[in-house]
Structure 1
Amino acid sequence: MTDQDVASAPDRAFQCEACGGVSAYAPGTYALRCAYCKHEQDITPVPRQVTEHPFEELAALARTSAPSRVKVYKCPGCHAVTESDTLSDTCQFCATPLVADATDAERVAPEAVLPFGIDRDQARDALAKWTGSRWFAPGELKNVTEAESFRGSYLPHWTYDAQTVTRYSGARGEHYWVQVRDSDGTAHKERRTRWHATSGTVGRFFDDVLVPASTQVPVEELDKLAPWPLRDTVPYQEEYLAGFRTLRYDVEPQSGLASAKARMAPVIRADCRRAIGGDEQRVHEVSTRYSDLTFKLVLLPVWFLTYVHAGKTWPVMVNARTGEVIGKRPYSAVKIALASVSAALLIGLVLVLMEMLRK
C-alpha cells in the first residue's frame, strides 16, 4: 500500500455542526446525532426516487473491471489507516464512523437503504424478551440482558421484479365413489380418482423478490428475519451508514437472479395447480418466460448480538426494523426431563380414568 493509495481513499466522516464532534446516524430518525453533545442535524433527502434498474444494464457493467474488495480508510479524526472489506466501518483506534464512496467501491452501487428503526437499547430489550420467553431455556438465561458483542450492520440484498408467463401440462383428478365388497361379502364405498390431461397458461408479476447478496451470513438464517418493510426504504445516502458496519455484496446480480427464479418457482407451480383445478392435481411440465426484468441493491439493517452462557457463546440476530429475534439458545435438560415426566404422569392419569369409566 503506497502513500498515494491512502491519500486517495474516498472516506468520509460527518462533523457535528454544533460542537465539531463526530456524528452518526440515529436509529428511528432521519437525523445524525453527535456522540458528544447529542445535537441532532437532519439528513437532507436526495432529490431522487428509489429506481428499479433494467437487467440489461448489467451487460455494460460487466465490461468494467471489478473493484478491489479491500478498502483503505484514512480516519479524518486520528488519521490512522484502516483496511476493511466493508462499505462503512468505524476507525479501529478512535471509533470515528467511516463511510466509503459506493460508486468507487462497488460495480453496482446501492440503490436504496432501509434505515435502522430500533436502537441498541431497544435491541437489548428485544433480546431480554426473547430469552425470557424460552420455555425450555435454563432459568439463569432469563437474566441475560447484556451482550458480549453487540454490533449493527447493513446487509446487502438484491431485489428482482419480473413478469412471468408459464405454459404448463398436467392432469386434473376428480374423485368419485364406487361400492365394493370385501372378501367376506361386506359392502362399503371406496374413493377413486378419474384423471384428465390438461394444459394451459398462467401469468404472474413478481415484485421485490428478495435475495441475500452476501455469503457471510447463512441464507436460511436471514430468511427467518423476514418480512422486511421494503416500502419504507429510502434512496441510498451515506449518512444512514454512519456508525454502522456495511457489508459489500459478494453474490453477483446474475447469480442472485438464479436464486430469485428458484424462489418464484414454487409460487408459479402453485398457480398451475390452481389453474388445473379438480380434487387433485399433477403438474408434469412447466416452461416459464421472464420479461420486464429489473433489479436493485438494497441495504437492510440487522443487530448482531452474542451472549455468553455456561462458557459458550450464542449468536443472535435482530431485525432492526421489526424487532424480530432469531438465534440459537441452550436447553435445560432438567426442564425437559420434568416436562417428559409430567406428560407421562398425565397420560397415565387419563388411562386410569378411562379404565374406571369402563367399569
Structure 2
Amino acid sequence: MNNAATAIRFPCPSCAGPMVFDAESQNLKCQYCGANKEIEKILDEPVEHAFNRRDENLDRLQDWGAQQQAIHCETCGGETLIPAGQTTSTCVFCGSPKVLSQENVRSIRPESVIPFRVSRDEALNSFARWKKKKYFMPNHFKKTDVDSQLNGIYIPYWTYDTETYSVYSAEVGIYHYRTVTKTRVVNGKTETYTAQERYTVWHSTRGDYGRSFDDILIPASGHYNSDLLKELGDFKLSELHGYKPEYLSGYISERYSITREEGWEKAQQRADSTLNTEIRSVIGGDEIRNLRIRTTYNAITYKHLLLPVWNANYVYKSKKYYYMVNGQTGTVSGRVPRSALKITLFTLFLLGIVGSIVWFIASHPEITSTTT
C-alpha cells in the first residue's frame, strides 16, 4: 500500500496530518506528531436486522460514514474497500499487482466492528512464537526471521440469530448382554469357556425440540482458506463496538463476497448439525438409526460485522506461504514449509511401533484367544 498517497480523512487537530487508528490506545493517532484523539464509543447494543429473502431498500444501510472506493484484483477476484483517494499497488490477498479501482461501492456497511488490539509488531512476534512450536518445519526456517508482507484487514462476517422448533423420529438401540459357551484352542488342546455376548434391542421414539441460536458467525469472505479462518475463530463478540469509520483509518476493509442469503444457508447448515448432535443426546441409547429431523426456523435476524485480521504472505525457497493473526487475540493460523526428512523419520518411527505390535500379537496367540 502506498501510504504517501493516503487521503486525509481524519486530520490531526495539532498539525493537520493524517490520523490512523492505534491498536494500543484504541484511539486515533497522528502519523506525524503522535497526537491522540479519542474515539467516541458507541455503547448501544448492535441492531439486529430482520432477514428477508426479498429485495429491500438498503440505501440506509450502505452509508459507511466516509467515502470508500473498491479495489478489484484481476488475478484472484478479491475486492477490498479503501478510503477514496488512497492508492494501492498490490492485492492484499494474493500479492498480484493487477488491481483496478471500481467506481460504485454498493455494499451493506457493517453494523458492528471489533477494533484491532494487536499491533503489527505483536502480530509478527505471535507468528515467530507459533512457528517455533511446529515440529515438522525445517530447522533452518524455525531459526530464520521471516520477512512477511503484513496487511491489517477487517474481514467481513455475518451473524444470524434464529428460533428453531424441530420434530424428530428415530429407532433407538439398547445394548444387552447374555452368557454364551464357546470353545478355543490353547496349546493344541480344545477347551470350553463362557463369555458375555452383546446384542441390541431396538425400539421407536419420537419427540420435539426447541432451541434458540445467537450469533452464528459466518465468514462473508470467499478469498481465504476456510480452515484458516476457523482456526482464528476465537473472536470475543462481547467486545463488539458500534461501527464508526474511525476504526478503519489506516486499515483495509474487505468487501463481502458471500451474500446474506448465501451466509444464511451456511448458518442453517451449522444449526442443522448442532440440532442433530443435541437431539441425538436427548434421545440417548447406545445406537441410533433412521433419525429424521424436520426443523422450522423463525424470527431470523442478521448483523454485518468487521473483524480484525493481520493477513500475511512470505516466500521461503521460492515458494509462497500464507498465515493469519487474529487482530483481537493474537491467535495464529497458517501453512508453513515441511521438512521431508522429519516427516520420513516420524513415519518410519510409527511403522516401527505398528510392526512391533503385530509381531508381539503374532508371537502370543493366547492373548487373542483370551480376549475374544
Instruction: Indicate yes or no: 2:51 matched with 1:55.
Output: yes
Gap change, CA 1:63 and 1:118, over 3 Å in 2: closer
Once the 2 structures are TM-superposed, how far is the Cα of residue 51 of structure 1 from its aligned partner?
A: 1.4
Instruction: Supply the AA of the counterpart residue of 2:80.
Output: T
Q: Deviations over 1:242-278 (max 9, x none)?
A: 1111011121111111110001111101121122122
What TM-score do you get using the length of structure 1 for normalisation?
0.80
Note the aligned Cα RMSD (angstroms). Answer: 3.3
Residue matched to 2:39: 43
Paired residues, number: 324
Residue matched to 1:30: 26
Instruction: Indicate yes or no: 2:92 matched with 1:88.
Output: no
Residue matched to 1:272: 279
Instruction: Indicate yes or no: 2:199 matched with 1:203.
Output: no
Once the 2 structures are TM-superposed, how far is the Cα of residue 136 of structure 1 from its aligned partner?
A: 1.7
Further displaced range: 185-194 or 170-179: 185-194
> Distance in 2 between the 1:352 and 1:213 partners?
53
How high is the sequence identity, in percent, across the aligned residues? Answer: 31
Q: Deviations over 1:52-97 (max 9, x none)?
A: 11214x6452688x99xxx9968xxxxxxx9554333582279xxx
Once the 2 structures are TM-superposed, how far is the Cα of residue 45 of structure 1 from its aligned partner?
A: 2.3
8 Å CA contact 1:147, 1:305 repeated in 2: no
Instruction: Indicate yes or no: 2:304 matched with 1:293.
Output: no
Secondary structure at 1:14 match in 2: coil
Residue matched to 2:101: none
Residue matched to 1:187: 194
> Distance in 2 between the 1:298 and 1:87 partners?
14
What TM-score do you get using the length of structure 2 for normalisation?
0.77
Secondary structure at 2:137 match in 1: coil
> Distance in 1 between the 2:165 and 2:354 partners?
54
Gap change, CA 1:72 and 1:83, over 3 Å in 2: farther
> Distance in 2 between the 1:50 and 1:337 partners?
52
> Distance in 1 between the 2:248 and 2:67 partners?
17
> Distance in 2 between the 1:352 and 1:270 partners?
40
Correspondent of 1:219 among 215, 218, 226:
226
> Distance in 2 between the 1:350 and 1:187 partners?
27
Residue matched to 2:175: 175
8 Å CA contact 2:8, 2:19 repeated in 1: no
Residue matched to 1:127: 127
Residue matched to 1:238: 245
Secondary structure at 1:125 match in 2: helix
Gap change, CA 1:35 and 1:337, over 3 Å in 2: same
Secondary structure at 2:198 match in 1: strand
Residue matched to 1:16: 12
> Distance in 2 between the 1:297 and 1:93 partners?
25
Once the 2 structures are TM-superposed, how far is the Cα of residue 219 of structure 1 from its aligned partner?
A: 2.5
Q: Deviations over 1:143-174 (max 9, x none)?
A: 34343311010110000001111100002211
Once the 2 structures are TM-superposed, how far is the Cα of residue 301 of structure 1 from its aligned partner?
A: 0.8
8 Å CA contact 2:71, 2:82 repeated in 1: no
Correspondent of 1:314 among 316, 321, 335:
321
> Distance in 1 between the 2:216 and 2:351 partners?
47
Secondary structure at 1:121 match in 2: helix
Structure 1 unpaired stretches of 5+: 1-10, 75-81, 95-103
Structure 2 unpaired stretches of 5+: 1-6, 73-78, 90-103, 185-191, 364-372
Secondary structure at 1:258 match in 2: helix
> Distance in 1 between the 2:293 and 2:57 partners?
31
